Amino acid sequence: MKITTSDAKKCEKCDVATNLRLCTSCGRVFCCQSHNAHNEEHFKETNHPIIIPLPTGTPLSWIWCWIDKAYLE
């Protein structure tokens, strides 16, 4: 995992401002599955597999891998 934080306040594609997901490969921010699923669309376009929730906190609440379709420990 590389990028673990962002100042973004909304999805890059639809302006949704809740339940955001941060791509740890490139740092871009997208909405979750319950909105417009732009985080999964980003994975399909880029093959960047790991996302974390925003805002990030300590400790990190979860890490999702699109390749395994599972939470990582």
**Which token pair is 1?**
């995992």
Question: Beta-carbon neighbour count of residue 4 at 10 Å?
Answer: 12
Rounded distance between C-alpha atoms, residue 58 and residue 38, angstroms:
25
Answer yes or no: is 43 within a domain: yes
**Which token pair is 30?**
């997208």
What's the whole-model pTM score? 0.89
**Which token pair is 57?**
């906190």
Decide if pLDDT at 27 tops 80.
Answer: yes
Tell me the pLDDT tens digit for each residue of 30-52. Answer: 999 999 999 999 999 999 999 99
Band (25; pLDDT cuts 50, 70, 90): very high
Answer yes or no: is 45 within a domain: yes
- What is the reported pLDDT for 4? 78
Print the domain residue range for 34. 20-71
Answer yes or no: is 44 within a domain: yes
Answer yes or no: is 10 within a domain: no
Asked if 64 contacts 52 with a C-beta cutoff of 8 angstroms, the reply is yes
Q: Provide the domain count of the chain.
A: 1
Give the CATH number for residue 25: 3.30.40.10
Answer yes or no: is 36 within a domain: yes
Rounded distance between C-alpha atoms, residue 65 and residue 51, angstroms:
7
Decide if pLDDT at 26 tops 70.
Answer: yes
